[in-house]
């Protein structure tokens, strides 16, 4: 493990993307959001993505110097075309406009097509919370998840993030892929020659399997099987609910924006679609009173009795924010290979 200062990491990433001719507004957005992921310990969405993004820029999946374009605007909504630009930049600009509009009307819903991978969904939801707004952020992704009773990967891991303002420094931040686990967890098990729990993913026949190497190989070749939706296989543990959540994300992102469905992404272009909502707490009353009321809920849950063998009840976001504080102070731990794979482009 290597340790690196947050500001240094951010600067490094920014330089890398400037070097391949990204505009500073673009390289800064990528740097900001990838570093923030590592700062919170979400390594799957951190600077480990640098080589993939660079490859996507080189092959034209992602285009440089593209601005988001407003296709339709009402007092409470936006439809934006990302023009195949850099996901983090397209999303940041779109979110700024979303928040700006919500300051006037109390709410704005925004759907975005022709964008690219935008990093951690929660980053955008949280921005709203800092404005006393509920933030919702969703995106579709490359197809990795099979529908309940289906064999083929048709849905993305389609994360949902919801941020709710609090009286403290950080909001409540629910940020979850709608699959049981991300592909990254299978990769870690494969590298360590470990079986995975049955119920995470399926094999080429669409049946649950504990062999991550075989599954990952099938996923790469699209020869059947993939990640299971939250709730696992079939209906025994309500896998159809996770499938429903993934479908819901698809409805708000690719359907509303008239964009590409998860199973149509990464052909010539990324074709990723997002959805944002910014909802001012004040349209429901006094924001401070609502936050104070919410504090009671949080406190009661956190202070409630633990199940046998458990150490702590976490409210969503807490784990990541605690890492953030520690890593800001002590530096961010980065895997040596992740670091090397990144700085080769410096």
Question: Within positions 76 to 105, which residues make up the interface with a second copy, using CB under 8 A?
Answer: 76-77, 79, 105
Angle of helix 183-191 relative to helix 212-221, nearest 10 degrees, comes to 130
Residue 213: CB minimum distance to a second copy, A: 20
**d(Cα 6, Cα 37) in Å, to the nearest integer?**
11
Which range of residues in 32-40, 42-50, 225-233, 336-344 is near a second copy by CB under 8 A?
225-233
Please give the residues from 40 up to 79 whose contact with a second copy meets the rule CB under 8 A: 71-72, 74-77, 79
Q: What are phi and psi of 114, to 5 degrees?
A: 50, 45
Torsion of CA 237, 241, 246, 248, to 10 degrees: 180
Which range of residues in 48-56, 83-91, 176-184, 321-329 is near a second copy by CB under 8 A?
176-184
Please give the residues from 186 up to 215 whose contact with a second copy meets the rule CB under 8 A: 197, 199-200, 202, 205-207
Closer by beta carbon to a second copy, 236 or else 329: 236
**d(Cα 248, Cα 289) in Å, to the nearest integer?**
31
Q: What six digits make up the tokens of 104?
A: 């006037």
| Contact between residue 187 and residue 212 where contact means Cβ atoms under 8 Å apart | yes
Please give the residues from 231 up to 250 whose contact with a second copy meets the rule CB under 8 A: 231-232, 236-238, 240-245, 247-248, 250
- Based on the shown chain and the rule CB under 8 A, indicate whether residue 258 belongs to the binding site for a second copy: yes
Q: What six digits make up the tokens of 49?
A: 């993505």
Cα dihedral across residues 42, 18, 137, 216: positive or negative: negative
Closer by beta carbon to a second copy, 172 or else 342: 172
- Based on the shown chain and the rule CB under 8 A, indicate whether residue 270 belongs to the binding site for a second copy: no
DSSP string, 228-286: PBTT-STTTTTHHHHHHHHHHHHIIIIITTT---GGG-SSSS--EEEEEEEEEGGGGS-
Residue 299: CB minimum distance to a second copy, A: 11
**d(Cα 95, Cα 280) in Å, to the nearest integer?**
14
- Based on the shown chain and the rule CB under 8 A, indicate whether residue 294 belongs to the binding site for a second copy: yes
Cβ atoms < 10 Å from Cβ of 84: 22
Q: Which of 284, 288, 335, 346 binds a second copy (CB under 8 A)?
A: 284
Residue 338: CB minimum distance to a second copy, A: 23
Closer by beta carbon to a second copy, 316 or else 323: 316
Which range of residues in 54-62, 114-122, 294-302, 338-346 is near a second copy by CB under 8 A?
294-302
Q: Which of 37, 42, 99, 109 binds a second copy (CB under 8 A)?
A: 109
Residue 96: CB minimum distance to a second copy, A: 20
Q: Which of 256, 278, 338, 342 binds a second copy (CB under 8 A)?
A: 256
- Based on the shown chain and the rule CB under 8 A, indicate whether residue 176 belongs to the binding site for a second copy: yes
Closer by beta carbon to a second copy, 47 or else 177: 177
DSSP state letter for 155: B
Judged on CB neighbours under 10 Å (0-12, 13-18, 19+), 121 is buried
- Based on the shown chain and the rule CB under 8 A, indicate whether residue 230 belongs to the binding site for a second copy: yes
């Amino acid at each position: 493990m290597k340790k690196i200062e947050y500001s240094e990491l951010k600067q490094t990433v920014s330089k890398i993307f400037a070097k391949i001719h990204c505009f500073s507004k673009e390289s800064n957005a990528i740097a900001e959001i990838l570093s923030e992921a590592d700062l919170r310990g979400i390594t799957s969405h951190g600077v480990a993505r640098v080589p993939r993004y660079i490859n996507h820029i080189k092959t034209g999946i992602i285009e440089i110097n593209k601005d988001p374009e407003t296709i339709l605007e009402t007092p409470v909504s936006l439809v934006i075309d990302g023009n195949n630009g850099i996901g983090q930049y397209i999303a940041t600009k779109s979110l700024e406009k979303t928040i700006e509009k919500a300051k006037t009307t109390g709410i704005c819903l925004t759907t975005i097509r022709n964008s690219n991978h935008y990093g951690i969904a929660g980053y955008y939801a949280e921005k709203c919370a800092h404005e006393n707004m509920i933030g919702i952020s969703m995106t579709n992704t490359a197809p990795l998840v099979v529908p309940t009773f289906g064999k083929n990967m048709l849905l993305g891991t389609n994360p949902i993030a919801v941020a709710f303002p609090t009286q403290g420094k950080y909001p409540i931040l629910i940020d979850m892929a709608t699959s049981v686990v991300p592909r990254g967890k299978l990769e870690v098990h494969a590298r360590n020659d470990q079986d995975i729990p049955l119920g995470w993913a399926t094999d080429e026949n669409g049946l649950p399997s504990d062999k991550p190497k075989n599954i990952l190989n099938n996923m790469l070749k699209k020869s059947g099987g993939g990640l299971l939706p939250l709730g696992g296989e079939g209906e025994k543990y309500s896998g159809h609910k996770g499938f429903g959540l993934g479908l819901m994300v698809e409805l708000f992102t690719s359907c509303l924006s008239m964009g590409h469905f998860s199973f149509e992404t990464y052909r010539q272009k990324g074709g990723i679609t997002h959805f944002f909502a910014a909802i001012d707490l004040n349209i429901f009353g006094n924001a401070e009173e609502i936050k104070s009321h919410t504090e009671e809920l949080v406190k009661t849950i956190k202070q409630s009795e633990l199940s046998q063998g458990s150490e702590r009840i976490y409210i969503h976001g807490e784990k990541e924010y605690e890492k953030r504080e520690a890593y800001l102070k002590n530096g961010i731990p980065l895997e040596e290979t992740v670091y090397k794979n990144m700085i080769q482009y410096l």
